[in-house]
Each structure stands twice: as structure tokens, then as C-alpha cells.
Structure 1
């Protein structure tokens, strides 16, 4: 049974126990147990199978009664009861821009624009050239991070617009997030068991921030911009870029403000500054596979230790390198001194140099 002192009997143990009980109560010869076609043997096997099924269902219930071990379907129930639903995927939104466009050109709403990898976007409002620039708002047709597009990436019209070249460029297309990871969601539900909302306590702001898609970590700072103000710094758990984009920060600000105490002062939601740390490592064996394993472990270490007002210890970095698959020995050339992360910052892994 899940997390209990009770041990679930196996099917052979149940058959043996029931067979012995039947033969004993019938005052029958226990040597008959060796005969597979006796009534006692048939009864024992049928009843043991039924009891074993009941034990299985009880085990299933015991595992799902609390959220820490619950299956996904049951976790949905726990989340709903704690008002902690799973965060859905969101679509990226932003603009596509054409420089040097002729005056008077208009793109209507509902026009499809594609990236070169065939991810499609739809214009959400009409736009007309202004001072040689045509900038039209778009939303990705698919939800998830796949819609997030770096500035300057080519975006092409699927149908021609008179007087306009087919290729524009992405302009602040961001805010797309994937469906919340199951274990991250489980962690938020368990937090609700530990922390009861307290009308504006520090933990309340952290809980509210984590309810926004694209945010998995948050920190609260009292009197951030004056007495009575609250600063909420938000981040995600991406191992490469843990700093959320402007769209996510704005969504968090809009979500938290109505929840904050009416008597409170202003709430400031902001992304942390990146404290980039470069790593110089002498590795043995120095192969591409081992390098990738080391990079993954160092990034995971940074997620754990690179928190605001935290300290990156060289010994902790070496520990992360040592547990990388395939690593036999190494020398951490740099950093060799403690690296302090300031308030308002989080650690971000920079470049790796291999010797």
C-alpha cells in the first residue's frame, strides 16, 4: 500500500491462505492441496483472485487520496478542490513589421502569415503604413512556446498584398507557453495544502504569480518602491533562459493586481536581472557526450543555487560536474571564488570553455 505500514499480500499468498482455511474448516486432509481439481483448490483460486482485485483497488485509492502520489486524473480533482487548476498552453502574440513600405498599404485582420518552418500566425487587426513602416498585430495559430519568435526572423504572407513584399520580420512575438508540466502543477497543489491564503502575506504573492502561465518561481520584496509597496520578481524554470519575456510579466501584473489587498499600495511585478556566470573546465574524458552531460548538470545546479541573494560555491559546481554521466575527473579552472547573486538577480549559465 502507498505510504503505509500495511503490506499487500500477493496472489499466491492469498491462494495459499484461503486454501488452508477451507481445508481446515472442512476438516479435510491438507494433502489434498496438491490436487489442482479439488473443490477446495478451485474455491481458493477464485476467491483469492477476487480478493486480490479488491486489494488492488484499495491500493489505487490509497495512492490517489493525496496529491503527492495521485495520477493525473485524480490530480485534476485535487487541483479543482484547492482552486489550483492546471495552466493551459497560451499562444504567442506580437507584431510583424515591414520597413520601407509604400504609403497607404493596408493589411486586413484575418490574414495568414508564416515562418519558414510553416508555423502560422493570423493578423488580429487591420494595419496601415505609417511613416514607411507597416506593423500588424498577430497571434500564433498554435499554442505553446513554438510560436515565440526572435526579432528579425522572416515572416511571409501566404497571400500577396498589392504593393507589399511577401517577407516581413517578427517584432516582439512572445508570450507563448506550453501546458504546465505535471510535476510543477503537483507542486503548486501541494503548496496549497501547506500555505493558506492570508490576504496579502508574502507567500500569497508567490502563489498568485505561479498561477500565471510561463512562471514557475517567484520572490516577494516588501517596500520595494517605498513604504507599503510590494515587489514580485518572477522567473521560469528554463535551464537556458529562466527570465520571462515582457508579455508574461505584464500578464502576471494584470493577474495579481485584482487579488492584492485593497488597502495595500502598488504592486510591481518584474523580471530579474541576469547574473551570467561563465565556466572554464578541464575535463577527463573530454568528449562531446561528456561535455553535454556536464552542461546539463551545471544548468540544473544553477536552477537550484542561482537564486536571489544566494551564493554559488565552487565546491557545489564541482559536485554538479562530478555527477555528469561519463565524467571521470575534472578541474574547475573558473570560477574559483564564491559568486554572490544580488537581490533582484538570478544566476544564468553563460559560456563554457573547455581545456
Structure 2
């Protein structure tokens, strides 16, 4: 939102200051025509300095509050409120070797390579096979989502181990996160301004949960499993699979326990049930670009409005389709009625059948 102040341009400042000097010094027309007369030089010098000062003030006006602050200033605002930007974290998990002899040991520090892209991992604990199974804890050498793996992803040992195949497979290698998106961080900082910590109010639990990597949305329910218990439902912003993994659930509990009231109640952290919303649409014109735009708009709509205990109105869905770039006309065949989202659910994108 603009402050209402219009910063003059450098040429405007030069003209204003020069004319003011001419008027106050009663300079005659003959001197005015000289390009290097004293008032002309003074006007340009003073205008240049003024322009820099106004630029600084304009920058300060933009950054004095977090809603328009640039990255460095926003981090500073967050730090002052103890609302820190979430830093990138490495993926952690296991590699497994099946049908191996007992007693084979992989030492801590052994290097593992993901065959798909040569991403490197390190064994974090010396492990010995038992009952024909060898499951070894690892951590990615790089931070970020890059280190996450689907179960069964093929890996290999850098240094061979006697009696053991060099080929192994990823097992629950997850929880790698990138640095927090700037706008998501901005929203958390602004929320901290609005919602002052209150020693365990509903909003406190929501803010605490969002401070943990992998969580962007949260809902707090009092007396979720009996009097005094606190239910905390958490999710990410994935339009298809918003559930957080078990490691993140444990991280949330560990993060909140020291912050919650000493006499606090039992905390239950869980992911919502994904309620898939399927669509059947006939659109005009019909081409891949317009289909892509409609799909993107519907995903964004479900992320905004598919919250627990809300209703997805069919008319709103039709409105979203109409707002898609390139769409001229459409018929929404399904959903054929309004859809209610239960308390423990959030809406996710289930797909589109094009007619």
C-alpha cells in the first residue's frame, strides 16, 4: 500500500531548486542563459543530494513494516519477534540391503551414491546386519529437497564392503527441505504481529507448528481426545499430497513440548485426511494450454478454500474455471453439488476428466 508521498524525479528537483535560487537571488535573464552560472551549479548539486536522501527515506518507508520489506529487512523484522526464517535441512533416512549374511558391518562415515543423479549420502552410525537384514541410517551431504528419495530408489556404496553387494535401496529418506519461501516467511512474520503469544492459546499452537520445516498450514482443536487434550492438525501446501511425514510429526512434538504450558494437556499431532475433489469439465476452446490454466486455478482454489469445516460451492468452482486465462465457455458436469469438508479433512486435487 502506497504511503501517498510521490518522490520527485531528479530533473524535477533540479528545475525546482534552480528556479528557486534564481528567484531569491534576483538573477537577470542574461546570467540565466549561461550554462555554468553559480545558481545552475548549486541547483544541480543540491538536487542530487536531495534525490539521494529522498531515495533513502522511500526505502525506509517501504521496509519499516514487514508487509513490503525486502528480504534482509524482513529477516530483521522476524528476528526481532523471535520468528526465524526456516533454514534448509538435509534428508535423513535409511538404506537397506536384503538377504545378507549376519555380522556384516558398515562403518560410520561410509559414503553412498544415489545412482539417478550421483547425489551423495553419509552413514551416520556403524551398523551390523542381523536376521539377514542390514538397515543403515544415512544423511544427505547436501541440504534441501534434492536429497529426498522414493522408497526403493537404487543407491550404491562408494567403498566396497566384503561380503556385501554394492547395490542398496533407499528406505524412508525424507525430511529434506529448502530454505523457507520468502512470502511464506513474510506471512508468518505478519501473523506474529497480529497474534501475540498467549501461553498456549489455540493460535500459539498453530504458530509453533508452522515454525517447523515441512509445515505451512495448521489447525488447533481443543479437547480433541478428551478434556484438556489438544489436537493439532498439520499439512503442507502440496495440492495433491498435503500430509507431512512421520519425522516431521515427531519434530513438531519436540518443538512444541518446551513451549507449551508446563501443566499443558496431551498433545496429538496428526495429518488431515485428504478429500480428493474430482472434476468433469467441458471447455471451449479446448487445448493443452487452457487445460493447464484451468488445472492450476483449481489447485490454487482448493488450497485457498478447501479448509476443514468449509463448503466448496459449485458456483465458486465454476467461477474459478471462468477466470482461467483463455477460457471462453465451459460446462461443469462434476461436482454436481456443493461439497462439505469435514473437521479432520482438507480438499486436494483429484484430477480432471475432460469431455
TM-score (norm 1): 0.95
Provide the residue aligned with 2:36 in structure 1. Answer: 37
In the comparison of the two structures, how many residue pairs are matched? 354
8 A Cα contact 2:241 2:274, kept in partner: no
Instruction: After TM superposition, give the deviation of residue 329 of structure 1 in Å.
Output: 2.1
**In 2, distance between residues paired with 1:75 and 1:271?**
30
1:68 aligns with 2:67: yes
CA distance in structure 2 between the aligned counterparts of 1:285 and 1:164, rounded to whole angstroms: 59
Q: Does 1:317 align with 2:314?
A: no
Corresponding residue for residue 272 of structure 2: 272
| Counterparts of 2:285 and 2:106, CA distance in 1 | 57
TM-superposed CA distance for 1:308, in Å, is 0.8
**Distance in 2 (alpha carbons) for counterparts of 1:170 and 1:58:** 54
**Deviation of the 1:323 alpha carbon:** 2.4
- Deviation for aligned residue 1:35: 4.0
Q: What is the aligned partner in structure 1 of residue 301 from structure 2?
A: 301
Q: For residues 132-147 of structure 1, what are the structure 2 equivalents within 5 Å?
A: 132-147=132-147
Moved more, 61-70 or 102-111: 102-111
SS in 1 for 2:294: helix
- For the 8 Å contact 1:20–1:30, the answer to whether it is kept is no
Q: Tell me how far apart the structure 2 counterparts of residues 120 and 284 of structure 1 sit (CA, whole Å).
A: 49
Please report the TM-score for the alignment, with normalisation by the length of structure 2.
0.95
* Aligned counterpart, 2:241: 241
State the alpha-carbon separation in 2 of the partners of residues 276 and 62 from structure 1: 45
- Indicate the residue corresponding to 2:215 in structure 1: 215
**What residue in structure 1 maps to residue 9 of structure 2?**
10
Tell me, yes or no, if structure 1 residue 262 matches structure 2 residue 262: yes
- In 2, the alpha carbon distance for the partners of 1:213 and 1:154 equals 26
CA RMSD of aligned residues (A): 1.5
Q: Compared with structure 1, are the counterparts of its residues 242 and 33 closer, same or farther at alpha carbon in structure 2 (3 Å cutoff)?
A: farther
1:342: Cα distance to partner? 0.8
Query: Match of 2:192?
Result: 192
* Structure 2 gaps, min length 5: none
1:38-78 deviation per Cα after TM superposition (whole angstroms, max 9, x unaligned)? 22222111111111111111111111111111111111211
Question: 1:135, CA displacement in angstroms?
Answer: 0.7
Alpha-carbon separation, structure 2, partners of 1:260 and 1:337: 42
Q: Cα gap change, 1:31/1:133 in structure 2, threshold over 3 Å: closer, same or farther?
A: farther
**Could you report, residue by residue, the CA deviation over 1:322-351 in whole angstroms, capped at 9, with x for unpaired residues?**
222322222222112111111111111112
CA-CA distance at 1:143 after TM superposition: 1.0
Distance in structure 1 (CA, Å) of the matches to 2:309 and 2:89: 32
Q: Is the 8 A contact 1:110 1:124 kept in 2?
A: yes
Unaligned runs of at least 5 residues, structure 1:
none
Distance 1:251 1:31, change over 3 A: farther
Distance, in Å, in 2 between the alignment partners of 1:235 and 1:303 is 11
Aligned partners of 2:326 and 2:108: how far apart in 1? Answer: 54
**In 2, distance between residues paired with 1:150 and 1:67?**
38
1:131 — aligned with what?
A: 131
Q: Is the deviation greater in 64-73 or in 236-245?
A: 236-245
Give the whole-Å Cα distance in 2 for the aligned partners of 1:177 and 1:217: 16
Instruction: Quickly say closer, same or farther: Cα 1:132–1:55, change in 2 above 3 A.
Output: same
**Residue by residue, what CA displacement relative to the aligned partner does 1:71-117 show, whole Å, maximum 9, x if unpaired?**
11111211111001100011111111122112222211111112222
Distance 1:287 1:6 in 2: 46
Shift of 1:32: 5.0
Q: What is the match of residue 158 of structure 2? A: 158
CA contact (8 A) 1:19 1:33 kept: no
